[in-house]
């Protein structure tokens, strides 16, 4: 009977009937080799096949097999004693496995054949390694030579954590002293099989590995796995020189018999550490100590060499080595907490912005990490706009669906050119008038901007913020920064750093804490692809101001109305109620006196039904409401700038008071009022009462 490798789900005896050499290059799992013919015989058969005919080749093969049959049969009888199903395979599930299968069947034995043979298995290995690599989060342990990563991984394994010891599979210690004390390495194919089997057997969504370079002696780590490791979580293990030399000595000097081998290896370091050091190390090793040797090699060779590689990563978390067990416990705890990032908090208020302060954040951006930074509109959650991996981290940090495109932030006009395929006259006029500032323009994108940034659109949104920190951060990072508002998906945009710290600690690489956002509402998003500029999202730059510059312009007709089922908005962000606090919001508009009356009536009713009530109003009206409600003011009525700047903070403030429902007054929909009403209407889920 034929069976697919994938469908083998019980314990079986695998029998590889190919030649010893084919078997040695790589086989399926723990298969035993029962060759039908031998290596040199295979060459003869192959040559006959090519140079004469398939018939001649078959005849020769038959002769070879018949000579070996008694031996083969004995081997099969021996294997049958294991009382498990016998499963045969050859190179492609063809002649060799089929003929032995027929023979054994005719002799009354029950056997199976793997469909497609070893080749089909290789196919499964390659495909599945790719799939599993994509599916799992790789938690990668980094640290200088001798911090005992292998011991920590062993401890993690003992705690039942999923671990793949890649060096162990390759039988190669990629670090100090190469392969001293280890066995010969597997073939590349076998190495790949081992990786696959190891991945397959891990039930968790994450898996621990040690940081490795691509090559481990004669083995090469598959690209898909390297990529998955690179885009996984990165942990740094910190240890003292003393701890490290103890570990190294324990590892390499354990057996008396290794001394000679180590001395031989030391010769390789002569050109790096000099004759004197090699002599010191030789005597140290021969006397059976080794600590001196470990220290010399770490300080003079390994640490400097590793520094470059270790500086390439933005580490998610750093652990100080205690014992391997306690360190492993701490790591397991970190996993349980959801693998938070060790968020760097940088205080940089406008009066005190130095490059020294911003540089660590800029470095994180350059390394592909996320950084929250202040802008004049709202705080942004940024990452290198030119790196897809980095941009993906934004979506993860926000918990935002990736069908919502991001705004790319630049600090100077030169940076615009490579990002877009065309700059229209209208665009030039608008940039001239409003950049740097709260205006986001939609351009046709260039090839440099990935579809991950634009969520599949052929256009890209670009803004040049007018904020000294945002501007300097972009300059120091050396790349455009893609950044949505720094709120968790579904919450109001953050306008102060405390909100960001509350929401984003553990989710981003750094938070730059600055002052309260001046405008407090997100930028105006303007589509300039058509005859007339269209405001897709009203914001800090008003339509009136835009008209003054280009003579025309209108609001998108889909603004401030609910989208119909399945309707695709021009600006995909418009389909989310971004601005809602936890509490239900009801907007009441109309003549002030009547609005106050209506809100008072609604508030009383809600309170009677057991709800905690909030009222969002203006300074002039605070007194008009019963102080038993939670009353918060957006500032002076008519002072739209203050009202706008306070809106999101005030909505969040109601959440802090745990109110269930907020009754809010509105503003006139003129100028900046349009943006304020747009956010209020969204916060209210389009539930507006006109009186
Ligand atoms: O003020 C702001 O704009 C802030 C700060 C950080 O710059 N950023 C911001 O980003 O509000 P975000 O991602 O929260 O909102 C971006 C809006 C979304 O409504 C999105 O749909 C729209 O811009 N958008 C982005 N790219 C677009 C495109 N190519 N076409 C149409 N709309 C786009
Ligand atoms: Mg947003």
Ligand 1 site-directed mutation target among 421, 500, 572, 580, most atoms within 8 Å of CB: 572
Q: pLDDT at position 352, please?
A: 77
Contact criterion met (CB below 8 Å) for 486 and 370: no
Q: Which residue CA neighbors atom 32 of ligand 1 most closely?
A: 571
Q: pLDDT at position 258, please?
A: 76
CB-side neighbour CA atoms (13 Å) of 685: 11
Q: pLDDT band at residue 576, thresholds of 50, 70 and 90?
A: low
Give start and end residues of each alpha helix (H) in 512-583.
543-550
Ligand 1 center–CA 212 separation, angstroms:
39
Give the C-alpha separation, 137 to 329, whole Å.
19
Buried b (16+ CB within 10 A) or exposed e, 461-492: bbbbbbbebbbbbbebbebbbbbbbbbeeebb
Average pLDDT of the chain to the nearest whole number: 92
Per-residue model confidence as pLDDT tens digits over 351-371: 778 999 999 999 999 999 999
Ligand 1 center–CA 393 separation, angstroms:
17
Q: Quick one: which atom of ligand 1 is closest to the CA of 540? A: 1
Per-residue model confidence as pLDDT tens digits over 518-568: 999 999 999 999 899 999 999 999 999 999 999 999 999 888 666 555 555
Give the C-alpha separation, 199 to 193, whole Å.
10
Which residues does ligand 1 sit against, CB inside 6 Å? 375, 377-378, 380, 404-407, 440, 442, 454, 457, 459-461, 463, 465, 483-485, 522-523, 525, 536-537, 570-574
From the CB of residue 91, how many other CB atoms can be counted at a distance below 10 Å?
18
Give the C-alpha separation, 272 to 300, whole Å.
8
Residue 575 has pLDDT above 60, yes or no: no
Q: Strands 407-409, 481-482: parallel, antiparallel or unpaired by DSSP?
A: antiparallel
Per-residue model confidence as pLDDT tens digits over 140-160: 999 998 899 989 999 999 999
Q: pLDDT at position 248, please?
A: 87
pTM of the model: 0.88
Q: pLDDT at position 90, please?
A: 96
Tokens of 686: 């389009």
Per-residue model confidence as pLDDT tens digits over 592-651: 999 999 999 999 999 999 999 999 999 999 999 999 999 999 999 999 999 999 999 999
Give start and end residues of each alpha helix (H) in 435-505.
451-454, 468-477, 497-504
Residues making up the chain, counted from first to last: 691
Contact criterion met (CB below 8 Å) for 93 and 116: yes
Q: pLDDT band at residue 296, thresholds of 50, 70 and 90?
A: very high
Q: Quick one: which atom of ligand 1 is closest to the CA of 522? A: 1
């Amino acid at each position: 009977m034929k069976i697919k490798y994938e469908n083998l789900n019980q314990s079986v005896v695998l029998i590889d009937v190919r030649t010893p050499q084919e078997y040695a290059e790589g086989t399926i799992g723990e298969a035993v080799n029962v060759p039908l013919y031998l290596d040199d015989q295979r060459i003869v058969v192959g040559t006959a096949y090519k140079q004469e005919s398939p018939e001649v080749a078959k005849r020769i093969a038959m002769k070879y097999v018949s000579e070996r049959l008694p031996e083969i049969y004995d081997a099969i009888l021996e294997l049958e004693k294991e009382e498990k199903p016998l499963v045969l395979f050859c190179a492609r599930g063809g002649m060799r496995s089929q003929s032995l299968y027929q023979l054994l069947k005719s002799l009354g034995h029950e056997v199976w054949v793997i469909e497609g043979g070893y080749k089909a298995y290789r196919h499964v290995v390659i495909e599945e390694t790719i799939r599993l690599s994509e599916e799992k989060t790789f938690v990668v342990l980094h640290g200088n030579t001798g911090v005992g990563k292998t011991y920590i991984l062993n401890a993690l394994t003992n705690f039942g954590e999923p671990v793949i010891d890649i060096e162990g599979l390759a039988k190669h210690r990629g670090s100090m002293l190469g392969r001293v004390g280890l066995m010969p390495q597997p073939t590349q194919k076998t190495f790949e099989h081992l990786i696959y089997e190891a991945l397959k057997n891990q039930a968790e969504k994450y898996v621990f590995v040690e940081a490795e370079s691509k090559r481990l002696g004669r083995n090469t780590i598959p690209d898909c796995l390297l990529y998955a490791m690179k885009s996984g979580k990165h942990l740094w293990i910190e240890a003292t020189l003393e701890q490290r030399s103890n570990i190294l000595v324990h590892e390499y000097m354990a057996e008396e018999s290794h001394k000679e081998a180590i001395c031989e290896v030391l010769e390789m370091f002569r050109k790096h550490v000099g004759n004197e050091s090699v002599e010191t190390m030789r005597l140290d090793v021969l006397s059976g100590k080794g600590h001196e040797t470990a220290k010399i090699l770490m300080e003079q060779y390994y640490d400097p060499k590793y520094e470059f590689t270790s500086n390439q990563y933005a580490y998610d978390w750093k652990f100080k080595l205690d014992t391997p067990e306690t360190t492993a416990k701490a790591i397991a705890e970190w996993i349980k907490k959801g693998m938070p990032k060790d968020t760097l908090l940088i205080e940089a208020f406008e009066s005190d912005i130095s490059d020294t302060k911003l540089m660590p954040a800029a470095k994180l951006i350059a390394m592909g990490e996320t950084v929250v930074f202040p802008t004049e509109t709202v705080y942004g959650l940024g990452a290198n706009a030119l790196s897809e991996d980095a941009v993906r981290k934004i979506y993860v940090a926000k918990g935002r669906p990736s069908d919502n495109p991001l705004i790319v932030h630049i600090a100077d006009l030169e940076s615009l050119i490579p990002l877009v395929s065309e700059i229209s006259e209208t665009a030039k006029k608008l940039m001239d008038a409003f950049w740097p500032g709260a205006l986001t323009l939609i351009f046709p994108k260039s090839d440099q901007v990935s579809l991950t940034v634009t969520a599949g659109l052929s256009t890209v949104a670009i803004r040049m913020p007018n904020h000294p920190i945002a501007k300097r951060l972009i300059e120091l990072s050396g790349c455009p920064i893609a950044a949505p508002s720094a709120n968790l998906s579904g919450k109001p945009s953050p306008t102060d750093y405390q909100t960001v710290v509350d929401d984003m600690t553990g989710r981003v690489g750094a938070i730059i804490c600055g002052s309260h956002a001046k405008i407090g509402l997100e930028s105006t998003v303007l589509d300039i692809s058509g005859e007339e500029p269209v405001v897709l999202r009203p914001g800090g730059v008003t339509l009136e101001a835009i008209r003054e510059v280009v003579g025309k312009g209108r609001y998108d007709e889909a603004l401030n109305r609910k989208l119909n089922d399945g309707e695709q908005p021009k600006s995909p962000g418009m389909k989310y109620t971004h601005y809602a606090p936890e509490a239900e919001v009801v907007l009441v508009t109309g003549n002030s006196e009547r609005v106050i009356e209506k809100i008072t009536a609604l508030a009383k009713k809600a309170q009677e039904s057991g709800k905690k009530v909030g009222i969002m109003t203006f300074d002039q009206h605070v007194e008009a409401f019963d102080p038993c409600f939670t009353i918060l003011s957006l500032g002076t009525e008519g002072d739209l700038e203050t009202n706008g700047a306070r809106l999101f903070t005030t909505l969040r403030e109601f959440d802090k008071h745990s109110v269930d429902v907020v009754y809010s007054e509105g503003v006139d929909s003129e100028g900046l009022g349009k943006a304020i009403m747009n956010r209020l209407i969204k916060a209210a889920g389009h539930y507006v009462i006109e009186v």
